[in-house]
Amino acid sequence: SQTIHQWPATLVQPVGSPLSLECTVEGTSNPNLYWYRQAAGRGLQLLFYSVGIGQISSEVPQNLSASRPQDRQFILSSKKLLLSDSGFYLCAWSFGLGNQPQHFGDGTRLSIL
Amino acid sequence: KNEVEQSPQNLTAQEGEFITINCSYSVGISALHWLQQHPGGGIVSLFMLSSGKKKHGRLIATINIQEKHSSLHITASHPRDSAVYICAVNSGGSNYKLTFGKGTLLTVNP
């Protein structure tokens, strides 16, 4: 069966510091991968998605970037965090063809001080 | 106006009650998803549907494409059903991008 791992679970970072959140999927190959952010009191917002290694689509302009160095690894990064980057970040995967359910990691709660 | 609207925003019920959460959308869709977010933040996919009705245990999801409306029903509710329920749609010809409602916070009291 497929599993998705996301870490760390919580993170407290100062403004201006770098960020690296990692997500890995096991038990499948060539999944679609997604990064979402859930700001306080707001719905989930798609940040990035990837349909293959090195293929990243950005949904909203922002202070973040994503990379997919391996088939089942998806990384969310920032060079300098802003206060507005605080939120709950979720990684998800789905099979690639057609409409498919998305399967979510447990999320990372990021607080910027 | 959000493309996906959920109601109610908050719902409190007594154990055993029948619960309905509604979702309306304003765009053409290829599929609609119901998700459950637990207090710790983890999200579980409950249903994906594009027509008709699906049932899993005490959960039932229906969709009316013509009316652009979906409902999630919980029969014989239990305190462990307490969670945020989120409606999301695949729209705009995209198989990947989901547009989410803001969620319905359900609290079931014993």
DSSP string, A40-107: TTS-EEEEEEEEETTEEEESS--S-EEEEEETTEEEEEESS--GGG-EEEEEEEE-SSSS---EE---
Q: Is the dihedral of CA A39, A106, B19, B28 positive or negative?
A: positive
| B97 contact residues in A (CB cutoff 8 A) | 46, 49, 59
- List, for residues B98-108, the tens digit of each pLDDT value: 889 999 999 99
Q: How far is B102 from chain A (nearest CA, A)?
A: 4
Tokens of B58: 């005490």
- List, for residues A14-56, the tens digit of each pLDDT value: 999 999 999 999 999 999 999 999 987 778 999 999 999 999 9
Contact A35, A47 (CB under 8 A): yes
- List, for residues B18-52, the tens digit of each pLDDT value: 999 999 999 888 899 999 998 888 899 999 999 99
Q: Is A46 an 8 Å CB contact of chain B?
A: yes
Q: Among A27, A57, A13, A36, which residue's Cα sits nearest to residue A105?
A: A36
| A51 contact residues in B (CB cutoff 8 A) | 96
Distance CA B98, CA A38 (A): 13
Work out the number of other CB atoms within 10 angstroms of the CB of residue A62.
15
Confidence of residue B94 (pLDDT cuts 50, 70, 90): low
Cβ contact (<8 Å) for A59 and B42?
A: no
What pLDDT, on the 0 to 100 scale, is given for residue B98?
86
Contact B28, B40 (CB under 8 A): no
What pLDDT, on the 0 to 100 scale, is given for residue A32?
93
User: Is there a cis peptide before residue B110, judged by omega within 30 degrees of 0?
Assistant: no
- List, for residues A55-100, the tens digit of each pLDDT value: 999 887 788 999 999 999 999 999 999 999 999 999 999 987 667 8
The one-letter code for the residue type at B85 is Y
What pLDDT, on the 0 to 100 scale, is given for residue A53?
94
Cβ contact (<8 Å) for A46 and B30?
A: no
Looking at the predicted structure, is the pLDDT value of residue B95 above 80? no
